[in-house]
Amino acid sequence: MKAAIVKEAGASPVYGDFADPVAGEGTTLVRVTEAPLTHLARGRAMGGHYSAKGTFPMVPGVDGVGVTDDGRRVYFFLPEAPYGGMAEYTLAKSERLVPIPDGLDDCTAAALANPGMSSWAGLVDRAKMRAGETVLINGATGAAGRLAIQIAKHLGAARVIVTGRRSETFDELRRLGADATIQLAPDRAALEHTLEPEFRSGVDIVLDYLWGPSAEAILAAAARGGKDAVPIRFVQLGSMAGSEIALPSAVLRSSALELIGSGLGSMTLAGLQHAIAGVFQAAQKAKFEVAIERIPLADVTRAWEENHGGARVVLEPTPGGA
């Protein structure tokens, strides 16, 4: 079959021929129609993500959409190594398949699933969000953050505060539902000063896609500005700005902060399935917006190496190869 192939850790994938997968007991063969290019797929292929298997050569891609032999349209996640989503066919365990509702097209489902699951699971399963609460999204200018705004509002957030470096996107974020926008300035003291009034007014949940210096500023501002003994659930989703932070012990002792991780390992497979299904059902009602750039799988090297801004890249295999 034709597939994207990563031959060693850190190498860009190339388009070529890879052995066909064969279904066995407990696995299902899926003909792939749409394969999203996600940060998680990149991290695992480069060997830097904590869930990476380190087996090469391999087909990258942690999820996608396709059709089973019996004609079911499904979303698949965590296919069986060395097979990934970026190929004409992949192999997935039956419990890692989620039906796609009739009203949702393949491309939209593929683009929504991974980023939507992260914020849905973070808010619903990890933070136990209640309608009427205030949510702060740290790093909302990318595709995942923009979708998180819409999901938080759909789930009943009374107020959504967002941070981002690119102030030119703020009008668009407000159109999607953000009530307040905060630019991430390099001056940490200034950033903390800007954040503190928001915590004094009341922030219930932080969704953090960045970690690094901005997370440090948010935690410090929450400790100083948060109300005594009122929990603030800080949900860590990604590390685009750095994998480590400095966390003074006083930040935790002087506040009711709850630090919560959300990702592979902190959620059961059943929980992930439930979150993805929730996003799919909500997407039909709420009409979530996501910018999509569709690229033929044959152009995977270009797609992998280019900057696509806030668009979600979806790779599409050509029937019969190219």
Supply the pLDDT for residue 310: 76
Residue 20 above 60 pLDDT? yes
Number of domains observed in the structure of the chain: 2
Determine the residue type at 11: A
Are residues 122 and 173 located together in one domain of the fold? yes
Mean pLDDT value across the chain? 93
Euclidean distance between CA atoms 253 and 266, whole angstroms: 24
Are residues 47 and 157 located together in one domain of the fold? no
Are residues 179 and 218 located together in one domain of the fold? yes
Euclidean distance between CA atoms 64 and 154, whole angstroms: 24
- Rounded to an integer, the average pLDDT of 74-84 is 96
Tens digit of each residue's pLDDT (9 = 90 or more) over 231-254: 999 999 999 899 999 999 999 999
> 204: pLDDT confidence band, cut at 50, 70 and 90?
very high
Are residues 89 and 221 located together in one domain of the fold? no
Are residues 48 and 125 located together in one domain of the fold? no
Of 138 and 320, the structure prediction assigns the larger pLDDT to: 138
User: Is residue 147 a part of any domain in this protein?
Assistant: yes
Supply the pLDDT for residue 43: 85
Residues with Cβ < 8 Å from 306, sequence gap 6 or more? none
Between CA 224 and CA 228, with CA 227 as vertex, the angle to 5 degrees is 95
DSSP state of 80: P
Determine the residue type at 252: L
Strand-pair category, 180-183 with 205-208:
unpaired
Are residues 152 and 239 located together in one domain of the fold? yes
Supply the pLDDT for residue 319: 64
Supply the pLDDT for residue 39: 85
User: Is residue 269 a part of any domain in this protein?
Assistant: no
Supply the pLDDT for residue 46: 79
Supply the pLDDT for residue 262: 93
- The pTM (predicted TM-score) of the whole model is 0.90
Euclidean distance between CA atoms 99 and 67, whole angstroms: 10
Choose the weakest-confidence range: 155-169, 186-200, 258-272: 258-272
Are residues 13 and 43 located together in one domain of the fold? yes
What's the CATH code of the domain at 161?
3.90.180.10
Residue 92 above 80 pLDDT? yes
Residue at which a domain ends, from 261, 282, 308: 261
Tens digit of each residue's pLDDT (9 = 90 or more) over 154-189: 999 999 999 999 999 999 999 999 999 999 988 999
Of 40 and 51, the structure prediction assigns the larger pLDDT to: 40
Helix (H) or strand (E) holding 171: helix 170-176
User: Is residue 321 a part of any domain in this protein?
Assistant: no
Torsion angles phi and psi, residue 224, rounded to 5? -85, -35
Supply the pLDDT for residue 54: 62
Supply the pLDDT for residue 129: 98
Supply the pLDDT for residue 318: 78
User: Is residue 218 a part of any domain in this protein?
Assistant: yes
Supply the pLDDT for residue 309: 79
Are residues 89 and 124 located together in one domain of the fold? no
Q: Residue 136 is part of which domain span?
A: 116-261
User: Is residue 286 a part of any domain in this protein?
Assistant: no
User: Is residue 167 a part of any domain in this protein?
Assistant: yes
Are residues 43 and 175 located together in one domain of the fold? no
Are residues 208 and 299 located together in one domain of the fold? no
Supply the pLDDT for residue 185: 86
Residues with Cβ < 8 Å from 270, sequence gap 6 or more? 95
Give one DSSP letter per residue of 268-285, joined into a string: -HHHHHHHHHHHHHHHHH
Query: Sign of the C-alpha dihedral, residues 183, 188, 192, 193?
Result: negative
Are residues 81 and 123 located together in one domain of the fold? no
Query: Sign of the C-alpha dihedral, residues 110, 115, 118, 123?
Result: negative
User: Is residue 274 a part of any domain in this protein?
Assistant: no
User: Is residue 276 a part of any domain in this protein?
Assistant: no
Residue at which a domain ends, from 239, 261, 283: 261
Name the token pair of 17.
């021929």
Are residues 123 and 94 located together in one domain of the fold? no
